[in-house]
Amino acid sequence: MVTEHIQPTRLGTVVCDETTPNVMEFSFVVEGGPSENVARRGQFVGVSTESGLVIARVQDLIRVNRYYQHAEAVREYQSRGEPLRSIFPTDRWQYTVAYARVMGLWVDGRTLRPYFAVSPGAVVRAVDEDTLAGFLRLDLQNGLYLGTLGHHNLEFKPSIERLLSKHLAILAMSGAGKSYFVSVLLEELLSRTKEQGRIGIVLVDVHGEYSYLEKASRKDLGLSEEDIEVERIRGPHFQIPVQSLSAETLGTFAVDMSPVQIRDLRRVIVSMRRQRHHGYSLEDLVEYVKGDETISRNTRDALIGWLVGLHETGLFGREASPEMKNIVRPGKLTIIDLSDFISLKKKQIVVSYLARELLHLRRQAKIPPFLLVLEEAHQFCPESRQELALPKSQIETIAREGRKFYALLCLVSQRPVRLSTTVLSQCSNQAILRTTNPYDLEHIGRSSEGIDRAALDTITTLEVGEALFVGEVVSVPTFVKIRRRHLEPMGVAAGLLDALKRADK
């Protein structure tokens, strides 16, 4: 028996007008009766040609009915009180024209740039899932299962290589599903086996929304063999060893240190290091500065005031806690929970130290490749110079140089317009969820090459949990419905009403 190759569903027939079909666009009349929606906006469609499969995406659908083309005639029947429908078979004359934009030419498992126009009369079909997976360069076997493709029965599974070998930005208005998406991503990264390749993850949890992951077990993630390792470090337990900080580094924790102050501080630190082999605290530094007559009175007072201020944050001590070398391990998630801190400055000091140490250790290959996930990224590397942002230059350095040795960033922000353009432009991969603010949209549009006007418009219409992926991760901008997470944070109120009921027990 000969098994026949099953052709994907027919969707329509290519038609021509003055300008189409051309290399990049074509229109087709959609098959089926007037009320059928066989082709959908955003769906991938294909036209089979001798030179390969032309893959396109439906950009828009237009309904046409010649009975309704003449306003005067419609008005005439209307005024007589007889709908056109009751006199003419109007339904039979209705049809839909779909406008499709060509995405690429698929030949023998490779995507080529399109170089010819499809023929009028050619049949347009749905694209089968295997082809689409190949075209979008998904890795159905070992990829990260993040969701499903809009309008297709296909799991969106980019390879870790594609998604994370460049920095990733997750942008959207608040409530659109950014943190939810991050938790899905974390689940996928945590459940990878050694053979599949595991990355170390450090997550700065500004609101304490990821602490539930600490209790996650392998079983929760549907795993049987490999262990998962999650550690949570709360802000107040975080300690920066003063001894490891140079005058310049200490200087970055203040916004307004003068070169003279730094120079004097450098001298102080050099002699402290010589004297105190077992480390020293900020208080020790203060004592030393107080007694150092060689420093001018003004500088001394300024330094003391400023060191005392730093000491009061409670973030500094003789020893490091945690040891930076231990927080990054393949497949391990370390949550730095800063939800106990109200002061933005404290959070910034921690992030600033983290970013610098991690990059430094990674450069020397003392820790494995890592992903640093930063929520509220605009608070740590803002665009504006006016805003206080201690970690900005460290994050910008990772953004510019980190990729080469796999020190990778995942930046999450609900105010893309306030996020440093330097950093944003280094995020070659972006997942954009619902965004309606026109300034944010414009900023997103400018920072990512892959987005055209049509895609930008669609971002405003996305639903919660839907994302547009652009960049290296996909060959063309792709709409994805983010999957459900396996683990749900317990005790989180589902909405205002739920919160009210919980509080009123």
Q: Which is nearer to ligand ADP, 12 or 177 (CB)?
A: 177
Between 179 and 243, name the residue whose CB sits nearer to ligand ADP: 179
Candidate ranges 167-175, 219-227, 257-265, 471-479; the one touching ligand ADP (CB under 6 A) = 167-175
Minimum distance from CB of 177 to Mg ion (Å)?
Answer: 8
Give CA–CA dist 475/433, Å, rounded.
Answer: 18
CA dihedral 472→476→477→478, nearest 10 degrees, is: -100
- Whether 218 and 226 have beta carbons less than 8 Å apart is answered as yes
- Interface segment toward ligand ADP; rule CB under 6 A; list 7-15, 119-127, 170-178, 380-388: 170-178
Q: Shortest distance, CB of residue 465 to ligand ADP, whole angstroms?
A: 3
Q: Which does 392 bind (CB under 5 to 8 A by kind): ligand ADP, Mg ion, none?
A: none
> Residue with structure tokens 């030179």?
51
Q: Does 179 bind Mg ion (CB under 5 A)?
A: yes
Binding partner selected for residue 176 from Mg ion, ligand ADP, none, CB under the kind-specific 5 to 8 Å limit: ligand ADP
Candidates 18-26, 39-47, 174-182, 418-426; binding stretch for ligand ADP (CB under 6 A) = 174-182
Q: How far is the CB of 338 from Mg ion (least distance, A)?
A: 14
> From the list ligand ADP, Mg ion, none, which binds 51 (C-beta under 5 to 8 Å, kind-based)?
none
Span from 36-44, 134-142, 178-186, 223-231 in contact with ligand ADP (CB under 6 A): 178-186
Q: What's the CA gap between 347 and 387, in Å, rounded? A: 14
Q: Is 313 exposed, middle or buried (0-12, 13-18, 19+ CB in 10 A)?
A: middle
Would you say 199 or 377 has its CB closer to Mg ion? 377
Nearest to 276 by CA among 473, 268, 71: 268
> 32-49 burial string, b = 16+ CB within 10 Å, else e?
eeeeeebbebbbbbbbbe
The residue of the chain with the least Cβ separation from Mg ion equals 179
d(CA 385, CA 374): 20
Piece in contact with ligand ADP (CB under 6 A), picked from 79-87, 125-133, 168-176, 267-275: 168-176
Closest approach, Cβ 173 to ligand ADP, in A, equals 7
Q: Please report the sign of the dihedral spanned by the C-alpha atoms of residue 218, residue 222, residue 223, residue 229.
A: negative
Q: Which of 7, 69, 174, 326 binds ligand ADP (CB under 6 A)?
A: 174
What is the Cα–Cα distance from 475 to 454, expressed in whole angstroms? 17
In a 13 Å sphere around the CA of 239, the CA atoms on its Cβ side amount to 14
Site for ligand ADP in 424-483 (CB under 6 A): 464-465, 482
209 CB neighbour count, 10 Å cutoff: 18
Work out which of 44, 135, 180, 238 binds ligand ADP, going by CB under 6 A.
180
Rounded alpha-carbon distances, angstroms, from residue 124 to 27, 34, 52, 103, 118: 10, 18, 13, 14, 10
Residue 464 binding: pick among ligand ADP, Mg ion, none (C-beta 5-8 Å cut-off by kind): ligand ADP
Q: Which two tokens stand for residue 25?
A: 């666009």
For residue 105, CA distances in Å to 111, 118, 235, 473 come to: 5, 11, 52, 18
Does position 411 interact with ligand ADP (CB under 6 A)? The reply is no
- Comparing CB distances to Mg ion, the nearer of 24 and 464 is 464
Q: How many residues bind ligand ADP (CB under 6 A)?
A: 12
Residue 207 binding ligand ADP, by CB under 6 A: no
- 379 interacts with Mg ion by CB under 5 A: no
Q: Which of 121, 175, 305, 314 binds ligand ADP (CB under 6 A)?
A: 175
CA-CA distance, 180 to 481, in Å (whole number)?
12
Stretch in the footprint of ligand ADP (CB under 6 A) among 177-185, 259-267, 388-396, 400-408: 177-185
Q: How far apart are CA 12 and CA 126, in angstroms?
A: 10
Binding status of residue 176 toward ligand ADP by CB under 6 A = yes
314 binds, among ligand ADP, Mg ion, none (CB under 5 to 8 A by kind): none
Q: Residue 112 is inside which H or E element, if any?
A: strand 110-112
Q: What's the closest the beta carbon of residue 473 comes to ligand ADP, in angstroms?
A: 18
Contacts of 221 (CB under 8 A, 6+ apart): 187, 190, 191, 228, 486, 487
Residues at the site binding ligand ADP, with contacts judged by CB under 6 A: 172, 174-180, 464-465, 482, 484
Task: Note the residues at the interface with Mg ion (CB under 5 A).
Answer: 178-179
